Each structure stands twice: as structure tokens, then as C-alpha cells.
Amino acid sequence: MTPPTLDIDVLLRDRSVRTIVCCGSGGVGKTTTAAAIAIRAAEQGRTVAVLTIDPARRLAQALGLEHLDNEPAPVDSIDSSAGGSLDAMMLDMKRTFDELVLRHSTPDKAQQILENPFYQAVSSSFAGTQEYMAMERLGQLHAELAGGAARWDLIVVDTPPSRSALDFLDAPGRLGSFLDGKFIRLLMSPAKAGGRAYLKVMSVGVHTMTAVMSKVLGGQLLRDAQTFVAALDSMFGGFRERADHTYALLSDASTAFVVVATPERDALREASFFAGRLASEGMPLAGLVVNRVERTRLPSLREGRAEAAAEEADGLPERTGTSWQPTDTAALLRLHAEHAAQAVRHEAAIGRFTASHPTIPQVLVAAAAEDVNDVGQLREIGAQLAE
Amino acid sequence: MSSGDWDGVRLHVVTGKGGTGKTTIAAALAMSLATHGKRVLLAEVEGRQGISGVFDVPRLGEDEVQVATGPGGGQVMGLSVDPKAALLEYLQMFYKLGMAGGMLERFGVIDFATTVAPGLRDVLLIGKVYEAVRRRPSRRGTRSAQLYDAVVLDAPPTGRVGQFLGVNHAMAGLAKMGPVKNQADAITALLQSAQTAVHLVTLLEEMPVQETVEAAAELRALSLPLGAVVINQEVTPPVGDGTLAQLAATDFDDAPLAADLAAVGLRVGPRMLAGLAQTGRDLTQRLALQDRERDALAGLGLPTVHLPLVPGGMDAGGLLELADAVAAQGVFG
Ligand SMILES: Nc1ncnc2c1ncn2[C@@H]1O[C@H](COP(=O)(O)OP(=O)(O)OP(=O)(O)O)[C@@H](O)[C@H]1O
Ligand SMILES: Nc1ncnc2c1ncn2[C@@H]1O[C@H](COP(=O)(O)OP(=O)(O)OP(=O)(O)O)[C@@H](O)[C@H]1O
Ligand SMILES: [Mg+2]
Ligand SMILES: [Mg+2]
């Protein structure tokens, strides 16, 4: 069964595509793929920004990202002869959150929020904050103007390292529903009703509860929680609205998802879940990038034959006059046999994915012998994405 | 590395970059510690059911249940620590809450406290582990509880482990006194003592090693005792350095290689010769990369455990193989 081919150039030529999101489970090559796509797009003449999340240090350096910086900065090492450009940034989730607070509240109130321990917990470690802030930042980048027009005509988005690709879609909602939680609303009611009314509406039960909580955690906890909730109150509507808005952006026809997976069962299963989810949400899936596929240097020599030949070579008489011995030959044959076996496993895993998703376009990227961390290597991956 | 370096260790914490093999290695370590008559608790704290997956047993809940018999005849018990259950248990223990517990649940307080109260979730999770480590016979309320010779914690990944184990730091903004603060102090005392060792699992790849090095620095700054670096999924290539050196030489002569291939009946052409030689050179490149990562790890000055890649994926036999390899290297006492 031959699935349709994912040709990244077709996607990049389509000017109506303004966002490409690279998703996938942990460590499969999302950041690498996002960077490769961004470079290729820029070198084909598009005005591109790439939003990376936790890139490997050497990759970050290759993109000129020496320090964590929430602002896109030009990548000079690309070929701009086609008239394109590339800006790269690393997401700083706490800073994005802080700026959001600063933008949506008075300076006094903002300060109060920023110093609150609950805010600090939510903004730096709450599961889902990174995903939420990635979406938030994406929305901001799209809104940036230069000379009256959008500053970038394509934004390539990397997604946070997470076990499940679905987290990218679900996490912002989790943060939203946390902010919608029962206890939060309860804590908020005094702020809305005013201090005195608060005492009246508090049932005896709630009293007992808060008493227990302050006893266990110290009275400061509840005061902090109340300050946090009250201070964020004015922003809540804004928060959820924003999350909804960005989510809507993702289901827009101007967005294309690229799912990345390694040719292994678990990663492909995640890719499969994700594809199903996109379909049910009506979100556009451009296709699957199978990254780090084993390609032997010698496709015609099968594993079994190579193994048998190695056995035989081991039995050949020692050679005089040269240092190369039959055992060296046997070792090379065994090494090839290992690669060939791996290639067969990969092919089988991809075949299983294809069988259950025959219509999802695919493209394979070979496993490089080294880590991918310079612009030249990223270009090479970009080229494979368009083969 | 001599055996018995961590003889006094009762709490083994296993961390590493996501996906490097924390759960697998924690399980193998627990197995290797479960020698005759010993009982080891293997605990996870992220609700991922990793332990039941590795041992192929039903989902774990709040109860400690046996998941395996160690190859040495001991018992491995499993536990998936749930922060809500831990909070309720804790409230019950200190406050005899009774009905109020249910009310807290109903009002969403438990949810709130266990998801967002800064550091509280972690104190609760690790508090349960602490309780298991510190259990003594005849202690009030622990009559029916299991006693353990060692506890192995399948901890959060490197990116979060400092925050997770640094409970005192995390609590600083919150409870300044009271029982939770006392609890955090007691936990910290255990974690910083010679009874604890934090092991770092990594692969010989850039990102996991980078995270390992960063985590080691962070944990040291928190005065947490580091244990071993576990290099997981190591593969020994079938080609030796001597062969690779010859291939790398600029004047490599492939005539003998061609003669051997012909002698074993392969149809030899320039593509085959070039292909095989290049396969060897690719390996050289990959090994050089691994050496770079190895050097970075060596810089940590920690004992190292090497565990092989189990071919064809993990299964019960593979886990035993890893447990044996752990025991044979003697690092964990
Ligand atoms: N085709 C490839 N060949 C060889 N190495 C690769 C290839 N693609 C990616 N890598 C390497 O794999 C590692 C993981 O890649 P990357 O960081 O892009 O993954 P990720 O999905 O973003 O991971 P995370 O989930 O941790 O964010 C990096 O060291 C990278 O250099
Ligand atoms: N030595 C090994 N040989 C073969 N496979 C291994 C080995 N160690 C781990 N694995 C496999 O690698 C995968 C990841 O391992 P594991 O789940 O233990 O990692 P983890 O660090 O706990 O991951 P997570 O961060 O998702 O919790 C699993 O499929 C596991 O079976
Ligand atoms: Mg990444
Ligand atoms: Mg795990």
C-alpha cells in the first residue's frame, strides 16, 4: 500500500497557509522538523518566524539563540536570495504569562498578581501553562504588524515536550477549566459580593472547610489564594476568550498540522491518536513526518544473507601482507545486518500505520549519523521533506 | 566502583529525561534489591501506571500490592501515589477529619490544594514515600502496613525533579509554620541524608545528557545526595576500533575487503564496497558523538552503571536481564 506523499514545498507554496504546527510525542524531532521547515520556507522567499520550545543547546546556537529570549531575532545564516527571511525565538512561558498580566491589569494590581505565590506556581509549573503560553505567543506573533501588514506571512510552531501529542490541544483547556473550578468560584464570590456579604453567604460548611484549610496550611494560604483569584478575576473572561480564540485559529484553514513520529510503535500510535483527534475537531492535518528512519547504505543486501556471509567470512584463512583481515569483513557485514534488521522493523511499523491510515500523506526522513544542529543539516532535512 | 557504596541507602530516587527509561530502570533496581527475604517498595507519583505496565499487572491504586518476586527471592511491592488520597490520609492522621474530608472534596478544595497550592502537591506525594521509608514496626496506625528494606521512587523527569525534591524551597512561599511545614522539614532531612540516593538515567544522546548534567548541578545545589549515572540502552557495535581505524585511513585499500566478499559468494561491485565502508564510517561518527556525551557525564564524577539495550523491546525476561546487570555492577549495594 502506498500512501499519498507529503510534499512540504506544496504546503510552503500555498500562501494561504500561515501557520504550521509540528506536533508529536516526546523526543521524536518536533523542534528539528519545525526548524527545518522554517529554514526551507524562508529560503523559498517567505517571511517566516519559528517559535521553538526548549531546543537542544546546539540547535539553539545554530539558530543564533544564545539566550532564552521571548522575542524573535533574525537568523543570519540562511540564504535570503529569494527575498525571504527567518526570525527565530524560544518561548519563555513565565515571561509570556507575566506580560499578559501586565497588559491586562493596572500596574498596582499586576504587581500584586506577580508576587502572589499561587500565581508563581501557576505561571511556572502548572501542567498546561507551557502549551497555553505557546498558543498565546502564537496569537501575538500573528497580530504583529510591520509597515501596516502582518510582520510574518508564515509562523512555524514547535510544541512542548510532552508524552502525548494531544496535550498541545488539551492543556490550554485544562488551565481554563482549572480557572473555572468550584473552589476558585467560591473564593471569588467574596470579591464579587464584598467582604461583608461574604460572611453571610458562607455556609457553616464552608466555614468549617476554610478553618481546616487554614489550620493545615496556615492562614496565609487562604489569603494568598483569595488575593490571587480576586486579582485575576478581571482577567478571567479574557483568559478563556483568548484560549478559545487561539483554539479557533488552529481549526482555521490557514493552519496546517504536521505530525512527527519516529518509526516505532509507541510514537506512531501517538501520531495515530493525534490524527484521529484532528479529524474529529475538523483541524487540517497536512501529513505525517516519519523521522529518523533507518536507511541502509546497501539496500540490496538483506539481513539474513549478510549474517550468513559474516559467518563464512569468519572462517576464511588469515591474510598476510595486509592488515585487513576476513574478520574485519565479517564485522562490517554484521554491522550492516543490524542496520538492515532495523530498516525492516521500521518499514513494518510504518506499514502498520499506513494500513490503518491509508489517506494520510507521509514523508520519510532518514536517521542522520549525527545529531542535527546546524543550518546545513537542517537544510538537508528540509530537502527530504520535499522529495 | 566497589560494591556496597550505598549500603545505608533506603530511598533510591530515579530520574532522567522523559523517555530515557526511568520507570524501567526503577523497576530493574527494585528487582535487584529484592534479594532473599527483602521487601522493596516501588512507587510512582505521576499517576501514569508505568509500574503496572512494566510488570504487566492490573492498575495500581492507593494500596501497596505485590507486583513481582525478585530474582533473589524477595518481594517487590508497587504503589501509585495519589495526591488526593495522600491529602485525605494526611488530614485524617493529623486532624481526625471524619466527615469534613468528604466536604472538602465536594467543594473542590482537595482538587485545588492538590493542583495549584504551590509545592503542596509535591509535599503530599513525597510525603507518602517518606512515610513508607520511615515506617517502623509497632508504630501507631501502621500496624497493618508493610515494612520495607528499601524504597525505589520512579520520580518525575529531570526538568521537574529539582522542584519536586526541593520541597522546602517550594513551600517557602506558602506555609511558614504548622504541620505541613514540619512535614516538609522532616522530608528534607531524609532526602538530604545518606539514606537517600538520587540516580540519573540517561542515553548517550545530546539532550538527555545535557539535562542530566543540568539536573546534577541543580540537585547538588539543593544538597541532595547523588547516586549513580545510569547509561541506559547501550549497544556494543559488532565492529571494533581496529577495523574502524583502517576504514578511516585516507589510503584505505578496499581490495582485501572485495576479495573476502567474493570468497563468501557475494556479488561484489563498487556500490557494495563503498556502501559497507561507509556503514563503518557512519559508526565511527556516531561513536565519536557518544564519546563526547560520555565525557560530559564523566565530568560529573559519579559512579556509572551501564545497561544494555534489550533487543526486540522490553519484556519480563528483559527486565530480569537488566536487574541482573544492575546487581552485577554492584553499585547499588
Ligand atoms: N533525522 C534525524 N537524524 C538524527 N538525529 C535526529 C534527527 N532528527 C532529530 N534528531 C535528534 O534527535 C534529538 C531529538 O530531536 P528534537 O529535539 O527535535 O525532538 P523533539 O520532538 O523536539 O523533542 P522534545 O519532545 O524533547 O521537545 C535531537 O538530539 C536531534 O538532533
Ligand atoms: N534497556 C532497555 N532496552 C530496551 N528497551 C528499553 C530499555 N530501557 C527502556 N526501554 C524502553 O524504552 C521506553 C521508555 O522507557 P520508560 O518508560 O522506562 O522510560 P521513562 O523514562 O519512564 O519514560 P517517561 O518519561 O515517559 O516516564 C519503553 O518502551 C521501554 O520499554
Ligand atoms: Mg522539542
Ligand atoms: Mg516513566
Residue A279 has pLDDT above 60, yes or no: yes
Residue B100 has pLDDT above 50, yes or no: yes
At B3 the pLDDT is 40
**CA atoms in the 13 A half-sphere facing the CB of A146:** 6
Ligand 2 residue neighbourhood (C-beta within 6 Å): A 163; B 16, 18-24, 50, 157, 232-233, 307, 309-310, 313-314, 322
At A313 the pLDDT is 97
Domains in chain A (CATH in brackets) are 8-169+238-296+348-385 (3.40.50.300), 303-347 (no CATH)
Residue A12 has pLDDT above 70, yes or no: yes
Q: Which three cell numbers stand for residue B162?
A: 529539582
Residue A222 has pLDDT above 80, yes or no: no
Count of CB contacts below 8 A, A vs B? 187
At A196 the pLDDT is 44
Residue B148 has pLDDT above 50, yes or no: yes
Which three-class secondary structure state does DSSP give residue A323?
A: coil
- Residue in B175, B257, B266 closest to A217 by CB: B175
B64: left (phi over 0), alpha (psi -120 to 50) or beta: beta
A248-261 burial: b if 16+ Cβ within 10 Å, else e: ebbeeeebbbbbbb
- Alpha-carbon gap: B38 to the closest alpha carbon of chain A (Å): 34
At A370 the pLDDT is 81
A265-286 burial: b if 16+ Cβ within 10 Å, else e: ebbbbbbbebbebbeeeebbbb
The larger pLDDT score, comparing residue A279 to residue B146, is at A279
At B138 the pLDDT is 64
Residue-wise pLDDT tens digits, B246-287 = 999 999 999 999 999 999 999 999 999 999 999 999 999 999
Which of the residue ranges A197-201, A245-249, B113-117, B316-320 would you say has the lowest mean pLDDT? A197-201
- Alpha-carbon gap: A338 to the closest alpha carbon of chain B (Å): 9
Identify the H or E element spanning A90.
strand A85-90
Residue B154 Cα to ligand 4 midpoint, Å, equals 7
Q: How confident is the model at residue A253 (pLDDT cuts 50, 70, 90)?
A: confident
Which of the residue ranges A174-178, B53-57, B171-175 would you say has the lowest mean pLDDT? B171-175
Q: Match 511491592 to its residue by C-alpha cell.
A: B77
* Cα separation, A363 vs B175, whole angstroms: 53
Cβ contact A48:A85 at 8 Å: yes
The pLDDT mean for chain A works out to: 86
Q: How confident is the model at residue B105 (pLDDT cuts 50, 70, 90)?
A: confident
At B98 the pLDDT is 65
Burial of A350 (0-12, 13-18, 19+ CB in 10 A): buried
* Cα separation, B41 vs B31, whole angstroms: 10
Strand partners, A23: A259
| Sequence-distant (≥ 6) Cβ neighbours of residue A70 within 8 angstroms | A89, A90, A91, A92, A95, A96, A99, A137
Residue type, B314: M
Distance from the Cα of residue B28 to its chain's centroid:
9
Question: Best substitution site from A372, A373, A381 to test ligand 1's pocket, by max atoms within 8 Å of Cβ?
Answer: A372
- Residue in B108, B176, B238 closest to A338 by CB: B238
Residue B144 has pLDDT above 70, yes or no: no
Which of the residue ranges A17-21, A235-239, A254-258, B16-20 would you say has the lowest mean pLDDT? A235-239
Q: How confident is the model at residue B114 (pLDDT cuts 50, 70, 90)?
A: confident
Identify the H or E element spanning B79.
strand B75-80
Instruction: Give the CA distances from residue B118 to residues A102, A371, B89, B114, B321, in Å, rounded to whole numbers and listed in that order.
Output: 22, 37, 20, 9, 41
Cβ contact A286:A11 at 8 Å: yes
Residue B192 has pLDDT above 70, yes or no: yes
E strand spans, A125-253: 145-146, 149-150, 154-158
The larger pLDDT score, comparing residue A267 to residue A56, is at A267
Q: How confident is the model at residue B312 (pLDDT cuts 50, 70, 90)?
A: confident
At A308 the pLDDT is 97
Q: Which three cell numbers stand for residue B312?
A: 526486540
- Alpha-carbon gap: A271 to the closest alpha carbon of chain B (Å): 16
A172-186 burial: b if 16+ Cβ within 10 Å, else e: bbbbbebbebebbeb
Residue A165 has pLDDT above 60, yes or no: yes
Q: How confident is the model at residue A326 (pLDDT cuts 50, 70, 90)?
A: very high
Contact assignment for A56 to B238 by CB distance below 8 Å: no
At A65 the pLDDT is 82
At B139 the pLDDT is 53
Q: How confident is the model at residue B234 (pLDDT cuts 50, 70, 90)?
A: very high
Contact assignment for B179 to A216 by CB distance below 8 Å: yes
Q: Report chain A residues whose CB lies below 8 A from the CB of B233.
A: none
E strand spans, A246-369: 255-261, 285-293, 362-366
Q: Nearest residue on chain B to A115, judged by CA atoms?
A: B173
Residue type, A53: I
* Cα separation, A316 vs B148, whole angstroms: 57
* Cα separation, A184 vs A162, whole angstroms: 27
At A55 the pLDDT is 86
Residue A209 has pLDDT above 90, yes or no: no
**pLDDT mean over B211-231:** 97
- Alpha-carbon gap: B179 to the closest alpha carbon of chain A (Å): 6
Instruction: Give the CA distances from residue A375 to residues A79, A84, A87, A378, B210, in Å, rounded to whole numbers and listed in that order.
Output: 10, 16, 14, 5, 21
CB contact residues (below 8 A), chain A span 67-96, against chain B: none
Question: Chain A contact for B290, CB < 8 A?
Answer: no
Residue B101 has pLDDT above 90, yes or no: no
- Look at residues B229, B314, B329, B303 and name the one whose alpha carbon lies nearest to residue B24: B314
Residue A174 has pLDDT above 80, yes or no: no
The pLDDT mean for chain B works out to: 88
Contact assignment for A217 to B97 by CB distance below 8 Å: no
The larger pLDDT score, comparing residue A1 to residue A373, is at A373
Q: Name the DSSP class of A5.
A: B
Question: Chain A contact for B243, CB < 8 A?
Answer: yes
Q: How confident is the model at residue A194 (pLDDT cuts 50, 70, 90)?
A: very low
* Cα separation, B74 vs B40, whole angstroms: 8
Taking the CA of residue B54 as reference, the ligand 2 atom at the shortest distance is 31
Identify the H or E element spanning B15.
strand B11-16
Which of the residue ranges A226-240, A317-331, B110-124, B237-251 would you say has the lowest mean pLDDT? A226-240
Distance separating the N- and C-terminal Cα atoms of chain A = 19
Which of the residue ranges A160-169, B15-24, B322-331 would you say has the lowest mean pLDDT? A160-169
Order across the sheet with B226-234: list the strands. Answer: B65-69, B75-80, B39-44, B150-154, B11-16, B196-202, B226-234, B304-308
Q: Which three cell numbers stand for residue A351?
A: 506499514
**pLDDT mean over A176-190:** 67
At B22 the pLDDT is 97
Burial of A162 (0-12, 13-18, 19+ CB in 10 A): buried
Residue B92 has pLDDT above 80, yes or no: no
- Look at residues B203, B228, B211, B215 and name the one whose alpha carbon lies nearest to residue B294: B203
- Look at residues B15, B69, B75, B67 and name the one whose alpha carbon lies nearest to residue B46: B15
Q: Nearest residue on chain B to A129, judged by CA atoms?
A: B116
Q: Name the DSSP class of A105.
A: S
The larger pLDDT score, comparing residue B216 to residue A167, is at B216
Query: Which ligand gives the minimal distance to the CA of A53?
Result: 3
* Cα separation, B48 vs A336, whole angstroms: 38
Which ipTM score applies to this complex? 0.84
Cβ contact A303:A333 at 8 Å: no
B129: left (phi over 0), alpha (psi -120 to 50) or beta: alpha
Distance from the Cα of residue A152 to its chain's centroid:
20
Q: What pTM was computed for the model?
A: 0.89
- Look at residues A93, A116, A98 and name the one whose alpha carbon lies nearest to residue A230: A116
Residue B205 has pLDDT above 70, yes or no: yes
Residue B4 has pLDDT above 70, yes or no: no
Residue A168 has pLDDT above 90, yes or no: no
Residue B301 has pLDDT above 70, yes or no: yes
E strand spans, B142-205: 150-154, 196-202
Cβ contact A63:A31 at 8 Å: no
- Look at residues A127, A136, A105, A336 and name the one whose alpha carbon lies nearest to residue A231: A105
Residue B1 has pLDDT above 50, yes or no: no
Tell me whether strands B39-44 and B75-80 are parallel, antiparallel or unpaired: parallel
**pLDDT mean over B79-98:** 80
Residue B242 has pLDDT above 60, yes or no: yes
Question: Chain B contact for A182, CB < 8 A?
Answer: yes
At A237 the pLDDT is 63
Highest-confidence range of A130-134, A197-201, B175-179, by mean pLDDT? A130-134
Burial of A207 (0-12, 13-18, 19+ CB in 10 A): exposed
The larger pLDDT score, comparing residue A359 to residue B89, is at A359
Instruction: Give the CA distances from residue B293 to residues A78, B200, B206, B213, B228, in Å, rounded to whole numbers and listed in that order.
Output: 29, 14, 7, 10, 16
Q: Which three cell numbers stand for residue B167?
A: 520541597
CATH of domain B3-235+298-328: 3.40.50.300
Residue A48 has pLDDT above 50, yes or no: yes
Cβ contact A290:A262 at 8 Å: yes
* Cα separation, B258 vs B266, whole angstroms: 9
Residue B78 has pLDDT above 80, yes or no: yes
CB contact residues (below 8 A), chain B span 116-145, against chain A: 116-120
Which three-class secondary structure state does DSSP give residue B176?
A: coil
Question: Chain A contact for B175, CB < 8 A?
Answer: yes
